[in-house]
Structure 1
Amino acid sequence: MSDKVIKRTRDWLEQVVIGLNLCPFARKPFQAGRVRFVVSDSRNLETLLADLHEELERLDHTDAEHIDTTLLIIPDQLEGFYDYNDMLDLADALLEQEGWSGTYQLASFHPAYQFAGTEVDDPGNFTNRAPYPILHLLREASLDRGLASYPDAEQIPERNIATLRGLSDAQWQSLFGGRPGTQP
């Protein structure tokens, strides 16, 4: 099952995140093979946090030229977005507790991701929707380098929302199985 989960996640990363340029910093490490895909087989928060700790330790002991970033994929729990969101507080607390704040950062993705103040079917939510709940472990140094070399980086979220709103029905169907708010 892990191979299928990784393939589906890799396809999403390549087609949606990189294909739509939602993250202008993703292409280079992906093409260089420096993105690690890990499936957590955890079924409870304690084991998931242990998996997260293990992956952060791995990043801590591995040069960025070998592993720049990690996608920790969580296929067997946290199906509800609010449960996932609650877990993020624990994950951030782990970073703080271990002294990794400022060294690593977590980005969050979920199949039902919803930004505060938006409707469920708002196309902007799809900037953070993924096939499974995912914790994206980022190196702050890599992120800082990318942001420094990218003009108007603060405009990325607005540009991404505009990109998603501008997709044709055929593109929505191909990437997500249909336009938000429509019946498949």
Structure 2
Amino acid sequence: MISTNGPTSQVISDSQQWLERAVIGLNLCPFAKSVHVKSLIRYAISDAKSESELLADLQSELIFLNSVSPTITDTTLLIAPMCLHDFLEFNQFILKANKSLTKLDLDGIFQIATLHPQYQFAGTDVDDITNYTNRAPYPTLHLLRESSIDRALQAIPNAESIFEVNMNTMRRIGLEGWRDLGLRVATTTISE
């Protein structure tokens, strides 16, 4: 089941703070500021405690997002504070998540980006600062419209360099700079 308010407000607050201070503040995603300022980001909190429950919530959220105009909700952060705390399990789950796009005939319409407190790029050490570009406070599936990505890429010169610029930004600020952002990091399971 998905919630967008109520007792999940701490999860939403933590996620918004991360978005504002890290993603927008460090310009890790040049597309994020516009949808944030226009309030086009939906923060959907899943109460799933298992992969199957989260998969059902993901499918519901994809159907919802497909049914609403991007001028109302352009993108969704589907946040799962009660499951998939282990990054390797989360990473395996993404295979199932992407199959949902095909199952719902939404492949090419949406894509799923992954964010996790323990995010680790292949070939990096666990504590490599560059991993922090994708470290959100909670396991999160970012549901993006392909059409919005295409428009954003056309509007940003040298969009192909975003990844490398982000890596350099993280190396420049280091762990101390990241800590100075004052972000809450989920280290334990959220209770019901």
Shorter-chain TM-score: what band? Answer: over 0.9
Residue 117 (structure 1) aligned with residue 113 (structure 2): no
Against the structure 1 CA distance between its residues 176 and 128, is the aligned structure 2 distance closer, same or farther, given a 3 Å change threshold? farther
* 1:106-145 matches, cutoff 5 A: 106-145=112-151
CA distance in 1, matches of 2:130, 2:182: 13
Residue 73 (structure 1) aligned with residue 79 (structure 2): yes
**2:165 is aligned with what amino acid?**
R
Does the CA-based 8 Å contact 2:129-2:175 persist in structure 1? no
Shift of residue 123, structure 1, vs aligned partner: 1.1
Deviations 1:9-67 (A, max 9, x none): 01000100000000000000100000000110001111111111111111111000000
TM-score with structure 2 length normalisation?
0.89
Show structure 2 runs of 5+ residues with no match.
1-6, 184-192
- Tell me which stretches of 4 or more aligned residues in structure 1 moved more than 2 Å: 168-173
Deviations 1:84-135 (A, max 9, x none): 0010000001101111110000000000000000011111101100100000
Show structure 1 runs of 5+ residues with no match.
178-184
CA distance in 2, matches of 1:160, 1:137: 21
- Aligned-residue Cα RMSD (Å) equals 1.2
Deviations 1:133-173 (A, max 9, x none): 00000000000000011111110000001011111665222
CA distance in 1, matches of 2:138, 2:88: 14
CA distance in 2, matches of 1:170, 1:83: 28
What corresponds to 2:100 in structure 1?
94
TM-score with structure 1 length normalisation?
0.93
**2:43 is aligned with what amino acid?**
F
Paired residues, number: 177
